[in-house]
Amino acid sequence: MAAPPNRPPLTALSDDESGFRDAVRDFAGSEVAPRVARMDEAQRVDSDLIGMFFEFGLMGIEVPERHGGIDSSFFTATLVVEELSRVDPSVAVVVDVQNTLVNNAILKWATEEQMARYLPRLASDTVGAYALSEAGSGSDAFALSTKAVRDGDGWVLNGRKLWITNGAEAGLYIVFANALPERGYKGITAFVVERSAPGFSVGKKEDKLGIRASSTAELILDDVRVADADILGELGQGYKVAVETLNEGRIGIGAQMVGLAQGALDHTIRYVQQREQFGRPVAEFQAVQFQLAEMATQVAAARLMVYNAARSKDAGARFVREAAMAKIFASRTAQTVSSGCIDLHGGYGFTREYPVEKLYRDAKIGTIYEGTDNMQLQTIAKDLLRA
């Protein structure tokens, strides 16, 4: 068997970043890879694996050490998501949502008391979920119908959330509801809701095309009581929490798609060196070599766009346009590359015997969640015209 292809870093990494990336790569190969097919079939992430994510610090990457995290950078989180996605994008999105959406929102918008209450749990043993979408509120996120009504010294939440990643595993949810409907979208407020709250339940779990091990679930809020202390940010500030957090989340999805594309390419480079036709390895045919070269170039470009957006975020620079560009380009690259990899596997690529089939299915979600391609184009165009 040919050795796995070497992939030198395409941007300067510090020694710490490089070492952490390599450690996650080893972990993904030894612990995640043997479970991939079984988890895809069962449509659930192995609970032992989630425990390992916490044990190795992967669920609290930017969380300060005083709250139980590893106090690293957003860029490090991006590397983690990329490396896990090379093996299984379903597993990667569990870690991605935890870090780029849930933890990120709390780090940016929570009070010190809320951080002390929630971050140690999110870093050590509690999966989080980000509950924004609804049946009638997808790309038009501010059309949500979930309501928060003042009742005494607290609030009562009623509504249903849909398409919630990590919904089935989570113990803590950031739920968006309109507390001041007379103000329109400026009444939307973010609440932190415990899974154990009376009236809160997890509904239907979606049967999906790809990333099947990752749960995508409905959440039901039936007279769920929350306190003022459970508001994340300020009353009526939820639209800002949502928009600004999703900018970071798009970079995470870009990293997921880069890792997926690289994983498919890695499998294919190995395969074409082993597969023989007309008396020689398929890799010796120039047409195949050119296809591989085109795909490798696309992956390299997508990776640099994602890394640039992540570095910009860490530097405190504006990155709205960069995040949208990285997500749309990386998502399209993942689809193009995984499709081309199936072609180079021939008939075998169309079977579940080879991993490229799963990666091809997983790739489709990249152009849909955390903002469709059309929404990314709209964001990019608005930012260009504003400049």
Instruction: Measure the CA–CA gap between 275 and 218, rounded to whole angstroms.
Output: 44
Instruction: Measure the CA–CA gap between 103 and 275, rounded to whole angstroms.
Output: 45
Query: What are the start-end ranges of the H helices in the chain?
Result: 15-27, 36-42, 47-55, 74-87, 89-96, 104-109, 112-124, 238-274, 286-314, 320-345, 356-363, 373-386
Whether 284 is a known active-site residue: answer no
If DSSP codes are grouped into helix, strand and coil, which group holds residue 221?
strand
Single out the catalytic residue among 83, 248, 357, 370: 370
Query: Is there a contact between 233 and 109 (Cβ–Cβ < 8 Å)?
Result: yes
Instruction: Measure the CA–CA gap between 43 and 66, rounded to whole angstroms.
Output: 35
Instruction: Measure the CA–CA gap between 87 and 4, rounded to whole angstroms.
Output: 13
Report CA Rg, the chain: 21
Strand 128-131 and strand 172-178: pairing?
parallel
Residue 64 DSSP label: -
Instruction: Measure the CA–CA gap between 376 and 345, rounded to whole angstroms.
Output: 32
Residue 266: closest CA among 86, 88, 91: 86
Instruction: Measure the CA–CA gap between 328 and 370, rounded to whole angstroms.
Output: 11
Instruction: Measure the CA–CA gap between 123 and 95, rounded to whole angstroms.
Output: 11
Instruction: Measure the CA–CA gap between 122 and 103, rounded to whole angstroms.
Output: 7
Query: Is there a contact between 326 and 302 (Cβ–Cβ < 8 Å)?
Result: yes
Give the residue numbers annotated as catalytic, written as ranges: 370
